[in-house]
């Protein structure tokens, strides 16, 4: 049985689809290729990076008490330079780092804008779950 991808309009076997969301007629299908392309674009967007971080925290019962606008302002203050290594990587390539790592706090911990910092991917990976102030 074939289904039509709502994005690329190709008719493909049902095994090539993910159930994406509901529509009036039941299910709304995107083929795996279109879904993976969308996921890649979303994960690399500023909002996607922050959303994935928030989802991980939500599972651990951690609360972030700052807005996306506050985070953007903190990013813009860096002018694209990593505060840790001083290299210019661009604002879009800075990642959200929790100064006190998520795995070091208990359930219900509330992060404020002062508890997070923008770091380049390399510095954030090196820092891992260490507390460096």
In a domain, 73, yes or no: yes
In a domain, 30, yes or no: no
In a domain, 10, yes or no: no
Q: What rounded mean pLDDT belongs to the chain?
A: 80
Tell me which residue range forms the domain holding 102: 62-127
Instruction: Give tens-digit pLDDT for 55-84.
Output: 666 666 777 788 888 999 999 999 999 999
Angle, in degrees to the nearest 10, between helices 32-44 and 46-59: 90
Domain CATH code at residue 83: 1.10.30.50
CA dihedral angle for residue 55, residue 74, residue 80, residue 99, rounded to 10 degrees: -60
Instruction: Give tens-digit pLDDT for 17-30.
Output: 665 544 445 566 67
In a domain, 70, yes or no: yes
In a domain, 89, yes or no: yes
Task: Return the percentage of the chain with pLDDT > 90, whole number.
Answer: 26
In a domain, 5, yes or no: no
What is the pTM (predicted TM-score) of this model?
0.56
CB neighbours (10 Å) of residue 64?
A: 21
In a domain, 2, yes or no: no
Q: How many domains does the chain have?
A: 1
In a domain, 40, yes or no: no
Alpha carbon of residue 8 to chain centroid: 25
């Amino acid at each position: 049985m074939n289904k039509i991808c709502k994005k690329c309009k190709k008719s493909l076997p049902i095994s090539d689809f993910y159930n994406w969301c509901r529509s009036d007629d039941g299910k709304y299908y995107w083929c795996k290729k279109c879904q993976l392309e969308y996921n890649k674009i979303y994960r690399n967007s500023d909002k996607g990076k922050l959303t994935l971080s928030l989802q991980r925290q939500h599972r651990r019962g951690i609360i972030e008490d700052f807005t996306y606008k506050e985070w953007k302002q903190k990013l813009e203050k860096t002018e694209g330079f990593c505060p840790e290594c001083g290299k210019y990587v661009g604002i879009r390539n800075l990642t959200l780092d929790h100064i006190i790592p998520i795995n070091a706090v208990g359930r219900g911990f509330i992060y404020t804008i002062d508890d997070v910092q923008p770091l380049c991917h390399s510095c954030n990976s090196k820092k891992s779950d260490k507390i460096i102030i």
